[in-house]
Homo-oligomer: A and B are copies of this chain.
Amino acid sequence: MKSNLDLINESDSFPYYEDNPGKYIKFRSSYWEFHLRGGSGPHGYMPQYVFERFAEMPWVNAWDIDFSKKTLTPGPGRQEDIIREELEQAKKKGVFEVLNRGWRNELYPIYGHNDPSEKIISMERAGSALFGINSYGVHMTVFVNTPEGMKIWVPRRAKNKQTYGGYLDNTVAGGLSTGEQPFECMIRECAEEASLPEALVRSNAKPCGTVSYIHIRDERAGGETGLVQPECQHVYDMEIGADVIPKPCDDEVESFYLWTVEEVQEALAKGQFKPNCALVLLDFFVRHGILTGDNEPDYVEIVSRLHRKLPFPTS
């Protein structure tokens, strides 16, 4: 059985400098830094072997590569185009499983770039983990207050889903593409994944903060491992009546269960939830006074670990 801190450690697996500076620096320096031209710091971390596979292609266009500092930066030209071409070439040559299997034609934003002519740089979603950029999403916990206490709607992911097939999930979740507002994204995902009507969501969904962590991708996610995924999920709560029943709409969800808090906690401890969804539920339990400083010995650590500062600019 996993403790709540075990669940955190699985998703927030990138080391912290202050826990052990020497170990952190050694680990960190095994990654290349992805920079943007004119920027003042990194926007992503890339594993050595990923860098080498790109380098074997070889790198399209003019990238500025500094072997002593281990930095890579798009050279002259529109940076977004250079990144896109690089990823398309890699896909065509079948270099990375995450591109072969996961290409979505969906763009993820990179914020905090100083060049006003390219204020937000976009990157194909499937490539984001290779470059290790921050990514953003929305996750909602839908619950019902019943005479027997609070119950939570829990979907099971389709067995054949590329990542974490068969795992339990948050009621509704999705990635935030470039230009999308979190609330509007949530409304769209509610319709697509759970057949929840827009009017209901618009009046009942409540934004409640974010959950953030830096994940190092392992085999359960499918594709390359060791990839760095700094993620920030905008979290929403929605209380609904017993008469509203979420239903799968697309083929991503197999079925929905209505579970008590205890049933959810048991499934968490058994490791049945997709790791980052476990974090969203722990945050829900903290905000609703279910997990407290009086009943959870690791409470102080858990609450801060649920809200890690992302390593790259967020706005």
Chain A interface mostly: mixed
Structural contact, A309 and B304, CB atoms closer than 8 A: yes
Count this chain's copies in the assembly: 2
Comparing A90-98, A141-149, A252-260, A288-296, the segment that makes contact with chain B is A288-296
| Residues of the B chain whose Cβ atoms lie less than 8 Å from the Cβ of A51 | none
A200 to chain B, nearest CB (A): 16
How many residues of A are in contact with the other chain, CB < 8 A? Answer: 41
A13 to chain B, nearest CB (A): 14
A201 to chain B, nearest CB (A): 13
A297 CB-CB contact with B under 8 Å: yes
A163 CB-CB contact with B under 8 Å: no
Structural contact, A310 and B303, CB atoms closer than 8 A: no
Distance, CA A212 to CA B308, complexed state (A): 12
Comparing A68-76, A77-85, A202-210, A268-276, the segment that makes contact with chain B is A202-210
Contact with B along A282-315 (1 / 0, CB 8 A): 0000111100111001111101111111110011
| Residues of the B chain whose Cβ atoms lie less than 8 Å from the Cβ of A209 | 286-287, 303
Q: Which residues of A are in contact with B by a Cβ distance under 8 Å?
A: 16-20, 41, 136, 181-183, 206-210, 212, 232, 234, 286-289, 292-294, 297-301, 303-311, 314-315
